[in-house]
Amino acid sequence: MMTINEVKQRLIEGNDRFVEDKLDGKLQDSSRRDSLVGGQAPYAIILSCADSRVVPELSFDTGLGELFVVRVAGNVANSSSIASIEYAVAHIGTPVIVVLGHQSCGAVTAAVAGGDNGYNLNHLLSHVQPALAASGEGAEVNDVVRKNAELTAEELKTRSGIISDAVAAGKLEILPAYYHLDSGRVEYL
Ligand SMILES: [Zn+2]
């Protein structure tokens, strides 16, 4: 497995290629598929929004078996997203988590707007409430997105012994980040 610093460097370089329209597009062919049938060893976990404009595998110029991507609107930490992340931390030893908020997030926009969105969406948006409260009255959506990524990164630790233990042992780092829809740049917060 790559070290934390190697992973961070790999993600930065891949994102640079994406931003510059110079994707390598490696590890996406039949030989790579064959090599992965027996198991996976992704070096990074990405907690991303479901938004179609945010595609982590492209944003970091990665192929099959490189990223363990968990997607849920608003990239929130709920029981299911945390459990998915715990699997990669505990069973694969993946050393980096990126919590990837993004510009103009619809889920955060709905949370900012408030009101009744029905049982399921209300429940999901309740996970954005701490970021909304921390951002203060009249905060811009993109500022709440940033705060949400930061607080979610913290929440992963407070709600998961597996994750907090791995961080404490120096085996795992959690990076809140903000994805720019226009430039494709992943900005670490
Ligand atoms: Zn979104």
pLDDT tens-digit map of 173-185: 999 999 999 999 9
Centre of ligand 1 to C-alpha 50, Å, is 6
- pLDDT at position 43 is 98
Centre of ligand 1 to C-alpha 1, Å, is 30
Centre of ligand 1 to C-alpha 104, Å, is 7
- Would you say the pTM of this structure is higher than 0.85? yes
Centre of ligand 1 to C-alpha 25, Å, is 25
| pLDDT 10s digits, 79-101 | 999 999 999 999 999 999 999 99
Centre of ligand 1 to C-alpha 53, Å, is 9
Average pLDDT of the chain is 98
Q: d(Cα 116, Cα 25) in Å, to the nearest integer?
A: 43
Q: d(Cα 25, Cα 27) in Å, to the nearest integer?
A: 7
| pLDDT 10s digits, 98-119 | 999 999 999 999 999 999 999 9
Q: d(Cα 41, Cα 92) in Å, to the nearest integer?
A: 6
Name which of 58, 73, 50 is nearest 28 in CA terms. Answer: 58
Q: Which residues surround ligand 1, an ion (CB under 5 A)?
A: 49, 51, 105, 107
Centre of ligand 1 to C-alpha 75, Å, is 7
Centre of ligand 1 to C-alpha 173, Å, is 23
Centre of ligand 1 to C-alpha 51, Å, is 5
